[in-house]
């Protein structure tokens, strides 16, 4: 039954009998550290925006468990096609937070060379595919990458993420349909955080769940407690194992809640009641995982301080560095449109660089997303 | 060297690419067993297996979306859109995804793929099987657009497009798939560079700048003009993007008079860009205003197709106008 919600940790952090995935103590502590780092990263991002040092940020508070649990269940060669609310996934895949801050500042050291809004990361080394803003476009792309893996006889999988809003997109439909038809080794992961900016889940679909939609496409659909890192880990491991063994895609629906605003430009008090937020506050994924670790004697104050203060210090220093790096040079704007610059584009570049050098340009970097 | 039609040259190029490069896969609606509705992929699945040449579910956004994923992963997909008129559900994937990956990822992810689509009117296909929407795509940095007009060019440009490291929209003027002529097409791997126009008829009095099936109509008009002692140079752009601006300016400087002939709706068509470039950089050599002969600003009609499409008479009329200005 897709309406059954799989979980490992109870709300009090205790483990359901016999459900614990096979993870070492070190790995469990690492999960916790990454969740704390994710929250610290989001806090840093929002603060930088509020201080006017970056133009925009998009936080994932409340969704740390599903990001980290998911990432740790994958293999290094697996590819991911993330949605934009995934800082914890990037961190847990091994991306250096300093590189993420370079992207947020759009500086000269950014892998995207200052060409995208904050949080639209691209990290080739971690097979973390460049993010775009339109919803759902990356879902069939993940299927294509998975088809290519299968074509080459490899054992890797592709995973792609969408929010509950993303399940309404045409990319979701074609992605799931193509994925199932070709039995592609792909995992469709929905972080159902209940809100697509201001539109609640019940206005996205009349289906009883996201997971139930899998049946119509001809693949398994599972629901999992998205605030339970271990349950998410287990679900992604299972789906990965199916995909790696030629059994095709799985749709996972992780139930969670977007604790913060959609972005630094959003005010959720305009559309959702505080009581709902307070209810979810009690299900905080980090606190629950801390209870679990405490029960296993894997947590103490010293470890907490190490996680919290270590994260903060690291991010504070990295943000300072990223800010110092400065913007990319004007001529870089014209690079990489094509592998080789067409003659007409080279003329445009030369014209602009000439004007910039002679000091005739009057445009100013306002540095602010005006919403 | 065998003689071939444009359609035969498409098939020849695809076959040559499949044989040479294991990264090449062909996907689209009906491209497999039946070889495509125009038979462009005829026999390819039988020869190269369903693994290399396969049918897709009926969703253009899915075809281009999955092809993008394959390209990102290192394959060289050649998706077919059955008619260019059907590409719009995939517009987002083409213009905001395929065309942008290299740029937006700082070169970390690239999208080398060739989207083939039959384009243009002349087969009595009505509004949904006749459009020439190259201008929408020409407005897209990161995308290349090619439109061949001869069999040898078709093979050479298609193989160049498949070799290219950037996404290419390869528009095949279906009206001349079979008709007009056969010509010799080189065997084996044969390429014609992208971004280079070709002079199809040399002349001194007026330049007709054109692309796609309209090039053949322009040549017919040039022949009729010759009877009136007007010498017409016909320039075939071959690539819309990158555009061979040097060739455009050269023909204008040769003749001082310009007619731009294209079958898409006139307003905002790619002819407007050509006219603007000439006005910006060669206005001093112009002996007459630039004339455009194009489709009308109406949806593409069914019964009156032959009146909608520019014919040799309308091009000749424009030639007369600029010569007698």
pLDDT tens-digit profile of A66-124? 999 999 999 999 999 999 999 999 999 999 999 999 999 999 999 999 999 999 999 99
Runs of H (alpha helix) within chain B: 6-20, 44-48, 60-73, 91-92, 101-104, 134-138, 151-163, 214-227, 245-255, 270-281, 305-308, 312-323
Write down the pLDDT at residue A3.
61
Q: Are B211 and B240 in contact (CB under 8 A)?
A: yes
Domain match, B171 and B69 both: yes
Write down the pLDDT at residue A1.
41
Write down the pLDDT at residue B18.
98
H or E stretch covering B95: none
d(CA A311, CA B218): 69
Number of domains in chain B: 2
Domain match, B179 and B239 both: no
Q: Which residue among B127, B129, B139, B306 is the active-site one?
A: B129
Of B128, B151, B185, the residue at which a domain comes to its end is B185
Share of chain A above pLDDT 90, in %: 92
Q: Which of A134, A144, A147 to mutate to test the interface with B (most CBs of B within 10 A)?
A: A144
Q: How confident is the model at residue A16 (pLDDT cuts 50, 70, 90)?
A: confident
pLDDT tens-digit profile of A315-363? 999 999 999 999 999 999 999 999 999 999 999 999 999 999 999 998 8
Number of residues that this document lists for chain B: 325
Average pLDDT over residues A134-148: 98
Taking contacts as CB-CB distances below 8 angstroms, the residues of chain A near B168 are: none
Write down the pLDDT at residue A368.
62
Of B153, B185, B217, the residue at which a domain comes to its end is B185
Domain match, B98 and B17 both: yes
Kindly report the average pLDDT of chain B as a whole number: 97
Write down the pLDDT at residue B294.
98
Domain match, B169 and B34 both: yes
d(CA A158, CA A248): 11
In a domain, B300, yes or no: yes
User: What burial class does residue A357 get, using C-beta atoms within 10 Å of its C-beta: 0-12 exposed, 13-18 middle, 19+ buried?
Assistant: exposed
In a domain, B314, yes or no: yes
B245 in A contact zone (CB under 8 Å)? yes
B280 in A contact zone (CB under 8 Å)? no
Q: Which of B48, B52, B65 to mutate to test the interface with A (most CBs of A within 10 A)?
A: B65
Q: Which residue among A27, A50, A271, A316 is the active-site one?
A: A271
In a domain, B58, yes or no: yes
pLDDT tens-digit profile of A78-92? 999 999 999 999 999
Domain match, B230 and B115 both: no
Reduce the secondary structure of B282-300 to three states and give it as a string: CHHHCCCCCEEEEECCCCC
Tokens 């065309």 appear where?
A: B99
B73 in A contact zone (CB under 8 Å)? yes
Domain match, B206 and B166 both: no
Q: Are A24 and A245 in contact (CB under 8 A)?
A: no
In a domain, B33, yes or no: yes
pLDDT tens-digit profile of B15-73? 999 999 999 999 999 999 999 999 999 999 999 999 999 999 999 999 999 999 999 99
Average pLDDT over residues A240-256: 98
Write down the pLDDT at residue A367.
61
Domain match, B62 and B151 both: yes
pLDDT tens-digit profile of A177-214? 999 999 999 999 999 999 999 999 999 999 999 999 99
Taking contacts as CB-CB distances below 8 angstroms, the residues of chain A near B107 are: 336
- Taking CB atoms and an 8 Å limit, are B106 and A339 in contact across chains? no
- In chain A, which residue's Cα lies nearest the Cα of B277? A344
Chain A contacts in chain B segment 94-123 (CB below 8 A): 96-97, 100-110
- Taking CB atoms and an 8 Å limit, are A175 and B165 in contact across chains? no
Domain match, B206 and B138 both: no
Domain match, B169 and B35 both: yes
- Taking CB atoms and an 8 Å limit, are B101 and A130 in contact across chains? yes
H or E stretch covering A162: strand A158-163
Nearest-CB residue to A132 (from B56, B62, B96): B96
Taking contacts as CB-CB distances below 8 angstroms, the residues of chain A near B18 are: none
Write down the pLDDT at residue B135.
98
pLDDT tens-digit profile of A28-53? 999 999 999 999 999 999 999 999 99
Percent helix, strand and coil across chain A, each to the nearest 5:
45, 10, 45
Write down the pLDDT at residue B180.
63
Kindly report the average pLDDT of chain A as a whole number: 95
| Domain residue limits at B234 | 198-323
Write down the pLDDT at residue A2.
45
Contacts of A109 (CB under 8 A, 6+ apart): A99, A102, A322, A325
Write down the pLDDT at residue A309.
97
In a domain, B193, yes or no: no
Domain match, B71 and B217 both: no
d(CA B185, CA B153): 8
Share of chain B above pLDDT 90, in %: 98
Tokens 């606190």 appear where?
A: A287
In a domain, B128, yes or no: yes
Contacts of A300 (CB under 8 A, 6+ apart): none
Greatest CA separation found in chain A?
A: 72
Task: For residue B122, give the nearest of B195, B177, B82, B203 by alpha carbon.
Answer: B177
Enumerate chain A positions whose Cβ falls within 8 A of a Cβ in B: 79, 81, 110-113, 115-116, 120, 122-124, 129-130, 132, 134, 137, 139-149, 151, 158, 170-171, 173-175, 177-178, 181, 336-339, 342-344
Q: Which residue among A120, A262, A288, A290 is the active-site one?
A: A262
Q: How confident is the model at residue B117 (pLDDT cuts 50, 70, 90)?
A: very high
B22 in A contact zone (CB under 8 Å)? no
Domain match, B298 and B260 both: yes
Average pLDDT over residues B96-123: 97
Task: For chain A, list the domains and their CATH numbers.
Answer: 5-324 (3.40.50.970), 330-371 (no CATH)
Q: What is the CATH number of the domain that holds B9?
A: 3.40.50.970
A138 is catalytic: no
Task: For residue A252, give the nearest of A170, A192, A177, A169 by alpha carbon.
Answer: A192
Share of chain A above pLDDT 70, in %: 98
Task: For residue A7, give the nearest of A237, A224, A288 by alpha carbon.
Answer: A224
In a domain, B190, yes or no: no
- In chain A, which residue's Cα lies nearest the Cα of B107? A336
Q: Which of A121, A139, A140, A345 to mutate to test the interface with B (most CBs of B within 10 A)?
A: A140
Crossing angle of the two packed helices A285-295 and A64-72, in degrees rounded to 10: 60
- Which residues sit opposite A162 in a β-bridge? A190
Taking contacts as CB-CB distances below 8 angstroms, the residues of chain A near B245 are: 343-344
Of B116, B150, B185, the residue at which a domain comes to its end is B185
Q: For B208, list phi and psi in degrees, rounded to 5.
A: -105, 115
Write down the pLDDT at residue B303.
97
Taking contacts as CB-CB distances below 8 angstroms, the residues of chain A near B108 are: 111, 122-124, 130
Nearest-CB residue to A144 (from B67, B106, B109): B67
Q: Which of A6-20, A284-298, B189-203, B217-231 has the lowest mean pLDDT?
A: A6-20
Domain match, B143 and B230 both: no
Write down the pLDDT at residue A272.
94
Taking contacts as CB-CB distances below 8 angstroms, the residues of chain B near A348 are: none
DSSP letter, residue A329: P
Write down the pLDDT at residue A21.
87
Q: What is the CATH number of the domain that holds B290?
A: 3.40.50.920
Nearest-CB residue to A137 (from B65, B70, B74): B65
- Taking CB atoms and an 8 Å limit, are A344 and B144 in contact across chains? no
Beta carbons within 10 angstroms of residue A268's beta carbon: 17
In a domain, B73, yes or no: yes
């Amino acid at each position: 039954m897709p309406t059954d919600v799989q979980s490992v940790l109870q709300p009090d952090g205790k483990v359901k009998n016999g459900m614990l995935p096979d993870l070492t103590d070190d790995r469990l502590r690492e999960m916790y550290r990454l969740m704390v780092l994710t929250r610290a990263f989001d806090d840093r991002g929002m603060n930088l925006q509020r201080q006017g040092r970056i133009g925009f940020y998009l936080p994932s508070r409340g969704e740390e468990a599903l990001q980290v649990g998911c990432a740790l269940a994958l293999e290094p060669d697996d590819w991911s096609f993330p949605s934009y609310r995934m800082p914890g996934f990037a961190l847990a895949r091994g991306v250096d937070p300093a590189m993420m801050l370079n992207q947020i500042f759009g500086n000269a050291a950014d892998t995207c060379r200052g060409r995208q809004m904050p949080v639209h990361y691209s990290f080739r080394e971690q097979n973390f595919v460049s993010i775009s803003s339109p919803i759902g476009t990356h879902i069939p792309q993940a299927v294509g990458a998975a088809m290519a893996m299968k074509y080459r006889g490899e054992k890797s999988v592709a995973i792609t993420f969408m929010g509950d809003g993303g399940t309404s997109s045409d990319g979701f439909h074609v992605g799931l349909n193509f994925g199932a038809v070709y039995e592609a080794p792909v995992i469709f992961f929905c972080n159902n955080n209940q809100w697509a900016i201001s539109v609640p889940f019940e206005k996205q679909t009349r289906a009883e769940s996201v997971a139930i939609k899998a049946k119509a496409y001809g693949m398994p659909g599972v629901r999992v407690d998205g605030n339970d890192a271990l349950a998410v880990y287990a679900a992604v491991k299972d789906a990965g194992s199916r995909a790696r063994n030629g059994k095709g895609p799985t749709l996972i629906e992780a139930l969670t809640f977007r604790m913060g605003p959609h972005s630094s430009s959003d005010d959720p008090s305009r559309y959702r009641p505080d009581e709902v937020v307070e209810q979810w506050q009690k299900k905080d994924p980090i606190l629950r995982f801390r209870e679990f670790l405490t029960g296993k004697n894997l947590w103490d104050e010293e470890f907490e301080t190490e996680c919290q203060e270590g994260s903060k210090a690291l991010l504070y220093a990295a943000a300072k560095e990223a800010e110092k790096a400065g913007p990319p040079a004007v001529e870089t704007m014209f690079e990489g449109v094509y592998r080789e610059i067409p003659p007409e584009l080279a003329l445009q570049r030369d014209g602009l660089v000439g004007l910039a050098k002679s000091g005739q340009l009057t445009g100013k970097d306002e540095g602010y997303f005006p919403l | 060297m065998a003689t071939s039609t444009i359609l035969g040259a498409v098939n020849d190029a695809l076959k040559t690419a499949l044989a040479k490069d294991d990264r090449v896969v062909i996907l689209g609606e009906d491209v497999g067993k039946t070889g495509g509705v125009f038979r462009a992929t005829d026999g390819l699945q039988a020869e190269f297996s369903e693994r290399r040449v396969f049918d897709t579910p009926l969703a253009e956004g899915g075809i281009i979306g999955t092809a993008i994923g394959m390209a990102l992963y290192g394959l060289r997909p050649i998706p077919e859109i059955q008619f260019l008129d059907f590409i719009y559900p995939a517009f987002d994937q083409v213009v905001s995804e395929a065309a942008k990956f290299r740029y937006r990822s700082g070169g970390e992810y690239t999208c080398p793929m060739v989207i083939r689509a039959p384009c243009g009117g002349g087969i009595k296909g009505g509004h949904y099987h006749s459009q020439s929407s190259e201008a929408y795509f020409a407005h897209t940095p990161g995308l290349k657009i090619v439109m061949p007009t001869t069999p040898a060019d078709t093979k050479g440009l298609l193989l160049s497009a498949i070799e290219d490291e950037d996404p290419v929209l390869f528009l095949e003027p279906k009206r001349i798939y079979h008709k007009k002529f056969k010509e010799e097409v080189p065997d084996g791997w044969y390429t014609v560079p992208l971004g280079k126009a070709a002079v199809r008829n040399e002349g001194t009095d007026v330049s007709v700048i054109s692309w796609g099936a309209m090039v053949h109509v322009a040549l017919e008009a040039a022949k009729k003009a010759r009877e009136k002692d007007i010498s017409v140079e016909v320039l075939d752009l071959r690539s819309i993007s990158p555009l061979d601006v040097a060739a455009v300016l050269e023909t204008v400087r040769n003749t001082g008079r310009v007619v731009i002939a294209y079958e898409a709706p006139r307003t905002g068509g790619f002819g407007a860009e050509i006219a603007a470039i000439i006005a910006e950089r060669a206005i001093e050599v112009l002996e007459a205003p630039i004339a455009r002969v194009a489709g009308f600003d109406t949806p593409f009609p069914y019964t009156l197709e032959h009146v909608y499409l520019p014919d040799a008479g309308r091009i000749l009329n424009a030639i007369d106008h600029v010569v007698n200005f």
